[in-house]
Amino acid sequence: MAQKEACSFQRGSGILMPITSLPSPYGIGTLGKAAYEFVDFLKKAQQRYWQVLPIGPTSFGDSPYQSFSAFAGNPYFIDLDTLVDEGLLQYDEINCHDWGYDATKVDYAKIFESRFTVLRKAFDRSTHKDLPEYKAFCDDNVFWLDDYSLYMALKFYFDNREWQLWENDIRLTKPAAVENYKQKLANDVDFWKFLQFKFFEQWNRIKAYANSKGIRIIGDIPIYVSMDSADTWVHGNLFQLDEEKKPVKVAGVPPDNFSADGQLWGNPLYDWDKMEKTGFAWWKQRMGASAKIYDVIRIDHFIGVVKYFSIPADATTAIGGKWMPGPGIKLINAINSVLGNSLVIAEDLGVSDDRVVALLKKAGYPGMKVLQFGFDGGSDNVMLPHNITENFVVYGGTHDNETLVGYFCDDNKSIEDLRYAVEYLNCETIDSIPDAIIRVGFMSCAHTVIYQLQDYLGLDNSARMNFPSKLGGNWEWRATKAQMSDKLAARIARLVEIYGR
């Protein structure tokens, strides 16, 4: 069962812009005024897509790919100005907090220290429980909302420790313990429900506004969930955990040219046999929920559907892991049954595998190509524009990569690769490579091309979003309002006009 023809991709382009990176006076981007202004910028630039990073609540390290829930929204994104307009907050209650001094960086420690204090004031004043919209929201999301809200209440009760370190009975979700804490923490549970209600209220508004302007939102979901998540705590039977709910095997990727030890991610692995016996019910819920909030869903590490790298939980590196078979087309069919009009992009980067190619062909999902990686292997490099066919989404670079200026214009690239890039792109200087990369992406046959805003702005690696395997300093970059200028929008729009996007 492939993606429906009626819901296919149109030839177009978009911008990768995380919610965190939007301008805001309160330390981090939100779903408020700046989000609407960014949609207006996209419209001026004649873009079809706004791609965001995962929008779930983040845990230690602030990575959107390590979330407390596969379903919930990040409370940091709730716009405080909107809450003031609704009479739930006053500006002196917001402005008395330190949200950070640098408008181009997120200070997550300051956000964590202050955000929930302010949001609790809004909750205390709210009469949301009397609203039919709130009751409908709770009823529509009962399959995850109650569990997540109890989980977060417990997490704060246990000093933000991961659930594996909670008291044994509640760690193991013993019914008596669950009922006891539901009553004991009832007000806190209601607080976390309120936050999700406000998040999705604001999210649905900005999505409707984007859609009204002809712009579709591309969401991003990690294939794996975090060990420290409501999903793993509640649904431990669907993961490779032992009777004490401790992981037996965990996720990662094997050693390669970039990492001699491989990558030990530590995420719990799915028990695909048990998943299949349920008809992949949890995955259907997850993808059905994603299809309601996104027009297009990018599945990160899509290779995990075909095969996954299984590493012993007590390992210190990925060296001792091995490949195991994934669910393949059976999971794809389950996913497609709940997508409605939403589409899927498969992040198929990394190790080449004929089975992944075959599954993508059956599913009809487009894969990804990253132009940044096209100039180190000769003319047969699959990332070069002349080798890219229609059913792909082309990126200059992703959130995990250097910016185009950082990649091509620093002092660490080989002279041979740079010489080839200059000649291939018909550039006069190395400094002109980044703009040429943008142009050839628009020129390509691929139906969709996505660039980071940083690359349109010509920023160096100080604006890089993520340095994989580096602890700290990630996910921090923020744009300023001045950077999203009419002049830049006109330059992008001209590329759209020239290359029919």
Strand partners, 252: 264
Instruction: Write out pLDDT tens, residues 447-484.
Output: 999 999 999 999 999 999 999 877 788 999 999 999 99
Residue 180 tokens read as 């006891």
pLDDT of residue 468: 85
Categorize the per-residue pLDDT at 6 as very low, low, confident or very high, splitting at 50, 70 and 90.
very low
pLDDT of residue 88: 98
Average pLDDT for 385-393: 97
Q: Please tell me whether the overall predicted TM-score, pTM, comes out greater than 0.85 for this model.
A: yes
Is residue 7 pLDDT above 70, yes or no?
no
Is residue 362 pLDDT above 70, yes or no?
yes
Alpha-carbon torsion 19, 21, 24, 25, what sign? positive
Instruction: Write out pLDDT tens, residues 127-181.
Output: 999 999 999 999 999 999 999 999 999 999 999 999 999 999 999 999 999 999 9
The average confidence (pLDDT) of the chain is 95
State the catalytic residue, choosing from 147, 162, 188, 347.
347
Average pLDDT for 188-198: 98
Instruction: Write out pLDDT tens, residues 76-133.
Output: 999 999 999 999 999 999 999 999 989 999 999 999 999 999 999 999 999 999 999 9
State the catalytic residue, choosing from 400, 417, 435, 460.
400
State the catalytic residue, choosing from 300, 348, 402, 455.
300
Is residue 1 pLDDT above 80, yes or no?
no
Categorize the per-residue pLDDT at 3 as very low, low, confident or very high, splitting at 50, 70 and 90.
low
Q: Per DSSP, which regions of 272-334 are E strands?
A: 296-299, 307-312, 322-325
Give the whole-angstrom CA distance, residue 207 versus residue 293: 8
Instruction: Write out pLDDT tens, residues 329-361.
Output: 999 999 999 999 999 999 999 767 899 999 999
pLDDT of residue 190: 98
Is residue 5 pLDDT above 60, yes or no?
no
Q: Which run of H or of E encompasses 394?
A: strand 392-395
273 noted as active-site residue: no
Is residue 4 pLDDT above 80, yes or no?
no
In the chain, the amino acid numbered 310 is S
- Which among 449, 448, 451, 414 is positioned nearest to 430, based on CA atoms? 414
147 noted as active-site residue: no
Neighbours of 237 (CB within 10 A): 10
Could you tell me what percent of the chain has a pLDDT over 70?
A: 98
Q: Per DSSP, which regions of 151-230 are E strands?
A: 216-221
Categorize the per-residue pLDDT at 2 as very low, low, confident or very high, splitting at 50, 70 and 90.
low
Average pLDDT for 254-265: 86
348 noted as active-site residue: no
In eight-state DSSP terms, residue 324 is E
Domain formed by 5-366+447-499, architecture: Alpha-Beta Barrel (3.20)
Strands 263-268, 49-51: pairing is unpaired
Q: Per DSSP, which regions of 226-381 are E strands?
A: 249-253, 263-268, 296-299, 307-312, 322-325, 343-346, 367-370
Strands 307-312, 249-253: pairing is antiparallel
